Structure 1
Amino acid sequence: MQSTQFDKIMRRIATILSVVILTLCLIYVSTGVMLSFYYEPTAGGAYNSLKMINTQVPYGWLFWRAHDIAGNAVIAIALMQIVVMFLGRQFRKSWLAAWISGILLTLSAIGLNWSAMILDWTQLGYWRFNIELGTIEAIPLIGGQLRDILTGGGAINTVTVEHLYTIHTYLIAVATLLLAIVHLSALLWQESQMYQADWEVRS
């Protein structure tokens, strides 16, 4: 079936947004690597190391701010892109790879933000994470095990920060970057297929 002009515009916007998402993911990962040279994932050291990055490390405040803005922007743009893909009728079976990778990308971006809530070791992050742990513990069957994995089997302490830092840096960040690449590749491939089908209809 030949695509309408509106569909083409929405699909092009979705592709552009996926390029923006990948760019933001690269900024997030690269600034995260730079911050990791000075960040100390301990209960007491996390706050002090981030304070040092903001005040003493040359351009440290810029890397920290770029890291924070990129992380929040990825979530916002990924949610916008899902809406754009829906409006562009990109919910057919042929767009399954783009849809799955897009939804997983959005969830992983939210996971990045969630796993970072205690990494600054502030009062707000501490109590927010404490409330989140209560919700996790209420999950039937696996709630207690998940809480033990996140906290290290006890109260919120240095082990908790280390676990969240590992999950945030080595698992979710890498998964988010890979999903952004897969998502962009799927959209580019499907867009080329769409224009090829339209060319065959007109020929």
Structure 2
Amino acid sequence: MSKVYDWFEERLEIQAIADDITSKYVPPHVNIFYCLGGITLTCFLVQVATGFAMTFYYRPTVTEAFASVQYIMTEANFGWLIRSVHRWSASMMVLMMILHVFRVYLTGGFKKPRELTWVTGVVLAVLTASFGVTGYSLPWDQIGYWAVKIVTGVPEAIPVIGSSLVELLRGSSSVGQSTLTRFYSLHTFVLPLLTAVFMLMHFSMIRKQGISGPL
């Protein structure tokens, strides 16, 4: 095993990477509230894992979506557990994100030179809310259907382009299969990809600039 490790070490400098990860200075004022961002990240990873597991059973059609969710809850092995963890970790992610934003704001973590860190954090907060909206629709029950209808109808109040925005969100003039397909694609591909990119930017800047100090 040592020869295998030495082979990779010579080419990748694994030890140098490990030292860089573990040698960052942690200020003495850091407390549990500074872990809220990390908890949010953990919730996101749980979301990815449990969401991926459910894609094996979920069917994104208006005729089968609800039945497939019922199958996950009652027939699939540990499906009830996976979906429950997905649902509760989603709520936890939103809560931790809100608390994290408040903590950063109250401790001045948005000030120079961390403006871009704050901006990427705000973008991540918007993406988190978008996860909630799109995920809420996927069971395609009465609550999900009417939630989508109301949310996608909001842009209609915008002059000139309102109707076009509504049709873009719904895929047609009314809520239906095209809407569910769009929301499923957003929830399982577009939003996770954007979140991963902005998280990478966010944490890279935190490592570069360090943890902000107390007020």
Check 1:24–1:30 CA distance in 2 against 1; reply closer, same or farther (3 A cut): same
TM-score w.r.t. the length of structure 2 is 0.79
Cα distance in structure 2, aligned partners of 1:95 and 1:120 = 40
Equivalent position amino acid for 1:39 in 2 = Y
1:73 matched to which residue of 2? 92
User: Is residue 171 of structure 2 the alignment partner of residue 176 of structure 1?
Assistant: no
The alignment status of 1:55 with 2:49, answered yes or no, reads no
Of 141-150 and 56-65, more deviation after overlay is shown by 141-150
Partners in 2 of 1:75 and 1:123 — Cα distance? 23
Structure 1 residues 49-58 or 182-191, which shifts more?
A: 182-191
Bigger relative CO (Cα 8 Å, ≥ 6 apart): 1
The corresponding residue for 1:13 is: 33
Matched, 1:123 2:142: yes
Q: Is the 8 A contact 2:110 2:117 kept in 1?
A: no
The answer as to 2:133 corresponding to 1:114 is yes
| Cα distance change on mapping 1:149 and 1:68 into 2, 3 Å | same
Report if the CA contact (8 A) 2:43-2:89 is conserved: yes
> Which shifted more, 175-184 or 95-104?
175-184
Name the structure 2 match of 1:40: 59
Q: Which residue of 2 aligns with 1:162?
A: 181
Task: State, as a whole percentage, how many aligned pairs show the same letter.
Answer: 27
Alpha-carbon RMSD across the aligned residues, in angstroms, is: 2.1
Which sits farther off after the overlay, 114-123 or 50-59? 114-123
Residues paired across the two proteins, number? 187
C-alpha separation between the residues in 2 aligned to 1:137 and 1:147?
Answer: 6
Q: Where does structure 1 differ by over 4 angstroms across 4 or more consecutive aligned residues?
A: none
Taking a change above 3 Å as real, the CA distance of residues 19 and 181 of structure 1, as seen in their structure-2 partners, is farther
SS of the residue aligned with 2:30? helix
Provide Cα deviations, 1:90-146, integer angstroms capped at 9, x if missing partner: 121211122111111111000010112221111111122222222122123332222
Structure 2 unpaired stretches of 5+: 1-26
Structure that is richer in helix per residue: 1
Larger Rg: 2
Does the 8 A contact of 2:109 with 2:212 survive in 1? no
Which sits farther off after the overlay, 77-86 or 125-134? 125-134
From 78, 87, 90, give the equivalent of 2:109.
90
* SS of aligned partner of 2:136: coil
